Structure 1
Amino acid sequence: MQVLHAVDDPEIPKLLERNEFFWLKLHGCSSEQIAEMGHKFGLHPLAIEDTQEFGQRPKLDDYDTAALLVFYGVDPDGTPVEVHFHVSGGWMITVHQEGHEIFKYAESRIGKEPPKTEEEAIYRVLDALTDSFFPVLDRVDDRIDELMDGMLLKPSQDQREELFRLRRRLIELRRIATPQRDILARGGDVLGRLPGLEADDARDWFRDVYDHLVRISELIDSYRDLLSGALDLYLSTVSNRLNAISKQLTVVATIFLPLTFVTGFFGQNFGTLTRHTNTPWAFWGYGVGGMLLAAVVLLWYFRRAGFLSDD
């Protein structure tokens, strides 16, 4: 099986004449090139129009002799990669604007182990796009664990912002993974009706892709639940730290309350006070001693009542 990379490749007419299945992998094509490709392969005008416009939802359109599948993979950084996949019994065409790294594994595998059937060749490309979700989701899982461990030690605003970023990323992945799962649930039957493709083989190969998409959807939902739990943990930890700080400030304020009373009382300009606090013993006993005694009594009381514990 040959992999071609240009619409005007001279091998295309020869392969079509020999009815030999091939993969035309187009990257960054202009609207004119897509129109030329559509006319050369006899694609439906609506299929050509859809291929010229990116930013579409995942879908599978059947045009009798060929089908258009809008399918998504994911770049290593988590960016969705939209691929327009034209399939027939004699060829398959992929059109994408970015994320060509995703196809490297499928292309190298096809070069080393040529697929035995057309259905297997189509499956390998779809499988490569589907499996690109797993490394991204694994990194999200590891990052959630790291954030939760960090929040138990010292919660910060940056951690909360990253939780929201991860949540938005999972929502974006869910918007493409769930429709693709639903499409592949019936995709084997649709593609199996195309001339040159066997219905039974198509169902068998695409069932594996469907199973992977089901697993991806379940992982995304479980990680969303983990993020909700992580956010609750963050709020709970912050609240507990705020309560601990409030408790400490309350203890300090309560200790200083009698001290303020003592200094205010002895600071009054009454003759009785001034005549009886004119010796060092009176100063240290009544003044400083009274404040120390009040502080010691309050500390003893707080410790006994459990106000100074971390619980």
Structure 2
Amino acid sequence: MRILDTFDEELIAQLRAQDEFFWLDLIAPSAEEIQRIGTALGWHPLSIEDTQRMGQRPKLDVYGDGALLVLQAAIAAHPEDENDHPLEEVHCHLTGDYVITVHGGRFTDLSQVRTLLQNSTSPKTERYYVYKIIDVIVDSYFPVLSDLDEEINALEDAIVAGGGRKELQQTFGLKRLLLTLRRAVVPMRDLFARQVEVITDLAGLEADSHDYFRDIYDHLIRITDELDGYHDMVAGCTDLYLSMVANRQGETSKQLAIIASIFLPLSFLTGFFGMNFDWSIAHVLSGPWSFFLLGIGSMVISGAIMWWWFRRKGWTGNDE
């Protein structure tokens, strides 16, 4: 078993002549390089075209004894709601003689696995390498899910503490991210549910390879379930935000209603004395003390009574 990171046509021809399985990991190759590699290895023209263009949805296309497996790997970022490019497309060309992966430079997990396998001294079978490559692509979603769990919990706390427009924008960002991830994971889950036997039937792979791919399918089901759960949590954050806004509006309306209620008797008293001003100063408010006692005093007493009544009903305190 050989692991390569550059295309050496003579070495690869030698490995194929010796019937030695190899893994070639290509990072951001040009269209000309893909054409040269595909021609040398006898790839189907459609397989070469798909790899040159990228932008493919997760799929499995079989061409004779080989297959093109297109997967989407996840790229973590901090914070996740500002992750504008959370996916990295990975093309896996599979046969019983080799596996060739093509991906961009942002996805470094395959490079780490390549180094780990190169340093390993225990013998590995071909099916293990194929499984390990696909497994590391699928497992790249778990760090993103871990970050999402922390961010959603922090978002809920921020909204309860009185979040504003920033938290609302963060909620929408997380919704978009979750939908993007789900559009990538669900096709991969369906692919391994229906077409995993196609990979195991490739010439050269052992018959028990489906045991490895069943583990990948289980991981995809778990990722899908967690994405659905996080989507419900983010939707709950939206409902929580709207509820908090409604509560604040209710508190403001209640405060305005209390102020209006207090000023209602004051308006009546000032209106009454104003409309009967001549009679009041001739018969009632004839002295300074009567003015303060009957005029100002009645207004203070009415306001105090209203405030006492509101306090007794519990309308002036908070809801805790």
Residue correspondences, number = 310
Contact 2:65 2:202 in 1 (8 A): yes
- CA distance in 1: counterparts of 2:199 and 2:165, whole angstroms: 50
Correspondent of 1:99 among 83, 87, 106: 106
What CA distance in whole angstroms lies between the structure 1 residues aligned with 2:289 and 2:115?
94
Question: Take 1:280 and 1:104, find their aligned partners in 2: how far apart are those partners?
Answer: 93
2:118 corresponds to 1:111: yes
1:246 Cα deviation from its structure 2 partner: 0.9
The corresponding residue for 1:16 is: 16
Deviation at 1:268, TM superposition (A): 4.3
Any gaps of 5 or more consecutive residues in structure 2? 78-82
The alpha carbon displacement at 1:73 in A equals: 0.7
Distance 1:8 1:267 in 2: 103
Match of 1:230 in 2: 237
Deviations along 1:131-164, one digit per CA (max 9) or x if unpaired, are 1100101111111111111211213121111111
Opposite residue 25 of structure 2, the aligned amino acid is: K
Whether the aligned pair in 2 keeps the contact of 1:75 and 1:102 (CA below 8 Å) is no
User: Secondary structure in 2 aligned to 1:100?
Assistant: coil
Q: Aligned partner of 2:309: which letter?
A: Y
- SS for the counterpart of 1:99 is coil
Structure 1 pair 256/127, CA: closer, same or farther in 2 (3 Å)?
same
Structure 1, 69-78 or 38-47: larger mean CA deviation? 69-78
Partner deviation per Cα, 1:155-180 (whole Å, 9 max, x = no partner): 31211111111011111111110110
CA distance in 2, matches of 1:304, 1:3: 80
Answer yes or no: is 1:245 the counterpart of 2:252.
Answer: yes
Mapped to 2, the partners of 1:187 and 1:5 lie a distance apart of: 29
* Contact 1:155 1:238 (C-alpha < 8 Å) held by counterparts: no
**Within the alignment, does 1:259 sit opposite 2:274 as a pair?**
no
Counterpart in 2 of 1:45? 45
**Counterpart among 182, 189, 197 of residue 181 in structure 1:** 189
Q: Counterparts of 2:166 and 2:10 in 1: how far apart (Å)?
A: 55
Residues 93-113 of structure 1: per-residue CA shift (max 9 Å, x gap): 111124231213321221232
Q: 1:115 to 1:266 in 2, by over 3 A?
A: farther
- Offset of residue 297 of structure 1: 1.1
When the two structures are superposed, what TM-score results if normalisation uses the length of structure 1?
0.94
Percent identity reads 43
Conserved? CA contact 1:191–1:199, under 8 Å? no
Deviations 1:8-33 (A, max 9, x none): 46532222222211111111122111
Contact 2:9–2:40 under 8 Å retained in 1:
no
Are 2:168 and 2:241, in contact at CA under 8 Å, matched by a contact in 1?
yes
How far, CA to CA, are the matches of 2:53 and 2:242 in structure 1? 43
Aligned to 2:93: 86
Q: Secondary structure at the match of 2:108?
A: helix
SS in structure 1 opposite 2:90?
A: strand
Does the CA contact (< 8 Å) of 1:69 and 1:85 recur in 2?
Answer: yes
- For 1:129, which of 113, 117, 137 is the aligned residue? 137
Note the residue ranges of structure 1 that are not aligned, 5 or more in a row.
Answer: none
Residue 232 (structure 1) shift: 1.3
> Equivalents in 2 of 1:269, 1:236: separation in Å?
49
- The offset of 1:120, in angstroms, is 0.2
Tell which deviates more after alignment, 231-240 or 61-70.
Answer: 231-240
1:219 aligns with 2:208: no
Superposed structure 1 runs of 4+ greater than 6 Å apart = none
Alpha-carbon deviations, 1:65-118, whole Å to 9, x = none?
110000111112251110111011111111112423121332122123265111
Q: What SS does the aligned partner of 2:61 have? A: strand
Distance 2:288 2:109 in 1: 86
- What amino acid does structure 2 have at the position aligned with 1:188? V
Q: Secondary structure at the match of 1:56?
A: coil
Residue 190 of structure 1 corresponds to which residue in structure 2?
Answer: 198
Q: Secondary structure at the match of 2:272?
A: helix
Displacement of 1:228 after TM fit?
A: 1.5
Residue correspondence of structure 1 range 280-299 to structure 2 within 5 A: 280-299=288-307
